[in-house]
Amino acid sequence: MRNYNGPFWLAAIIIVTTSNFASAADIKLVDPKTRTHLQTELHMGDYLALSETVTNKMLGSRLAESWGDTRPKLIVGLLSNNTDNESIRMTDLHDRISETILGSGLVRLVDQSATSFDYIIRSELTSSRQYGERNQELVFFTLQLKMFKLDGELVGQWSDDIAMAQGKKRRFF
């Protein structure tokens, strides 16, 4: 029986193992907080940041300041996805908006089935694309929050945009 513990076998195993991962040199870890993009599509970190930004605009508005210590009851309605990307997890955006509002302590959140509330928020995520010469692409994503009173009166509207641009695509030949 042979001894396979020698340095020759160890070197052979290292060479075979590292040659299988040669293409891994092109893969890099990215800090998710930097929100680096390779395409003109947003990722979940962008959607969540957009949700927080718009919600904080609402919470910092004159309307929210006028509540003082009353803490009105608020329903966060479902978000509408009017983008060309049906795979966006809208429940995650809804949850981030609810979490941001709840964390503020300014209102009391109630379920959509509640019969007693002061305001309801309706939200919409939209996108639009423009194409230029040489396959250049510009995409705008907009999240909009609208607050209504019980009688249907619109009392506040807040929005924010993210724009993504992709330059001309490189040709390999």
Domains of the chain with bracketed CATH? 40-166 (3.40.50.10610)
**pLDDT tops 50 at residue 173:** no
Write down the pLDDT at residue 31: 52
Give the tokens for residue 150: 């019980």
Residue 61 CB contacts under 8 Å (≥ 6 apart), including other chains: 156, 158
Asked if the model's pLDDT at residue 27 lies above 50, the reply is yes
User: Span 1-11, mean pLDDT?
Assistant: 57
Q: What is the pLDDT of residue 97?
A: 95
Instruction: Specify the pLDDT at position 46.
Output: 83
Q: Which two tokens stand for residue 14?
A: 């290292």
Identify the pLDDT of residue 172: 47
Q: Which range in 7-11, 54-58, 86-90 is most confidently predicted, on average pLDDT? A: 54-58
Give mean pLDDT, residues 160-171: 69
Kindly indicate the confidence band of residue 62, based on its pLDDT and cuts at 50, 70 and 90.
very high
Report the pLDDT averaged over residues 130-145: 83
Q: How far apart are CA 125 and CA 152, in angstroms?
A: 21
Nearest Cα residue to 50 out of 143, 145, 156, 164: 143
Element (H, E) at 119: strand 119-131
What pLDDT, on a 0 to 100 scale, did the predictor assign at position 53? Answer: 94
Residue 170: pLDDT over 60: no
pLDDT at 116: 94
What average pLDDT does this structure show over 93-107?
A: 95
Q: Sheet containing 137-149: give its strands across.
A: 108-109, 73-82, 119-131, 137-149, 154-166
